[in-house]
Structure 1
């Protein structure tokens, strides 16, 4: 079967795209491996109408609504390769099956490579976070920490003071100059230069190399961002580079550099957010549908 649009990825961006396209009555296929980036988080905070709800519950409800549209098909599996051109794309799954589509939306997301510190990854999404807008409020202005991974961590340390008394753990990743140190002091940030040995305790106690333990209610850090899927690279999509990694280059409608290929979600942004992902999905859906309508020579 030739689908009008194949969406790879069934999290917030992918399902948002699927819903918009479902209502166009086009034939849509959603391929989903089921590994959401925020699967480690118990709550999705700051998402309008769903504040505090479990991310998995939001996804399950959205998927059930979309499944009611008879023109949308879901397949659970891993898309391992993508090839072809506009009007004749081919997606191969790990089970060897091959699926054809006239347009592609890559909502494949990213993976976070965290600093290699014992106890850190175990608390990811529970007491170790990336986004203060998503998780800062629930800490109730208790002590918070920022684990530096590069110069960009300066901004995070300055910002976190909005949510609690902040300790900036440099961990050898950054050395504030005089101007930066003054800015941190002005915001009331405590600078800790001793290396971090481990993260322990019920929340995120920071164990230092000199034996001291500094308890914090939440620890914020940024890992290295890598594509969760090779499809965009296989198709030849252009990328942009930033301090945290690379992301797929798109225009405002989430059109990539490859005709007929669109991308949406955390794989097109420097930083991720559920609301942004949903918006991206809707944009990519509209762009792909308009392409089918207004490019009849290619869609024939």
Structure 2
């Protein structure tokens, strides 16, 4: 039996496993093969890995973890997690069961996109939600902002980057908000967006007329828990939809940790999705587990 079962093999889960392995503590890492950045061609704003493909990042991490004999990785999908007398039972889709005294959730969030035809095909390739991760690639180019939520905030971040910023608010902003955005230099389109599509090197946005931009930043995508395990375990959930944790990733249920963009402290305003932040959260959670093991 491992010291902990880590469900999720993105940056948070892989970093947690590395930290545990280096402290000669045992962990089983469960990799479903599904990732929030699964459609992304290159990840950015990651020191020493700026521009690296996410799959390459994960493969390198797994190769390094193979050097630690206390760490095992299992491919598979977890169906349910439940408390048992000696800790927790993790049941897989194939009916097999693993048990451990501790569980770490690192399954991440899922993006529910607005109902715009074609947006799913562009997601992670020409349509994004994080200017910190993908804004620089549109330096000196035409940038579109899709959605009314946080539109001014996103425009302010993109102004120093793009040659132009066009906001497709779909009628969701009032006159005062539109005037404020125009004062920032944004071009406004109020008609509902009918579709988006790749057209050569452009993104074609149809909102009554067809408008061409180089890339889109979506402000009204909704993040939710990718997996049902937080609900199954009755963990405390914050208004953002993320699991509430303390500074070392402990959840409201003893023995359960959480790390990555599926969790954050109540003192933070919301979910902060970034590879480096997820890895840091995984390391902190692993440190918390090692500290607990050392005291037993």
- Gaps of at least 5 residues in structure 1 are none
Asked if the contact 2:103/2:255 (under 8 Å) is kept, the reply is yes
Per-residue CA deviation, residues 31-89 of structure 1 (Å, 9 max, x unaligned), is 11011111111101110111111110011000110011111111100111111168511
| Separation in 2, partners of 1:191, 1:102 | 55
Distance apart, 1:255 and its partner CA: 1.1
Distance apart, 1:152 and its partner CA: 2.5
Number of residue pairs aligned between Structure 1 and Structure 2? 286
Distance apart, 1:140 and its partner CA: 2.5
| Separation in 2, partners of 1:176, 1:68 | 58
| Separation in 2, partners of 1:166, 1:13 | 34
Asked if the contact 2:87/2:255 (under 8 Å) is kept, the reply is no
Asked if the contact 1:86/1:260 (under 8 Å) is kept, the reply is no
| Separation in 2, partners of 1:96, 1:268 | 28
Report the TM-score, using the length of structure 1 for normalisation: 0.91
Partner-residue secondary structure (3-state), 2:253: coil
Aligned equivalent of 2:268: none
| Separation in 2, partners of 1:107, 1:87 | 22
| Separation in 1, partners of 2:188, 2:152 | 11
Aligned equivalent of 1:66: 65
Tell me if 1:152 matches 2:150. yes
Per-residue CA deviation, residues 226-254 of structure 1 (Å, 9 max, x unaligned), is 11111111111100113xxx111111211
Aligned equivalent of 2:272: 271
Distance apart, 1:13 and its partner CA: 0.7
**Greater displacement, 263-272 / 72-81:** 263-272
Partner-residue secondary structure (3-state), 2:287: helix
CA 1:266–1:163: 2 relative to 1, 3 Å: same
Tell me if 1:190 matches 2:190. no
Per-residue CA deviation, residues 125-177 of structure 1 (Å, 9 max, x unaligned), is 111011111111111221101111x53333223322222111111113x2135
Report the TM-score, using the length of structure 2 for normalisation: 0.92
- Gaps of at least 5 residues in structure 2 are 265-270
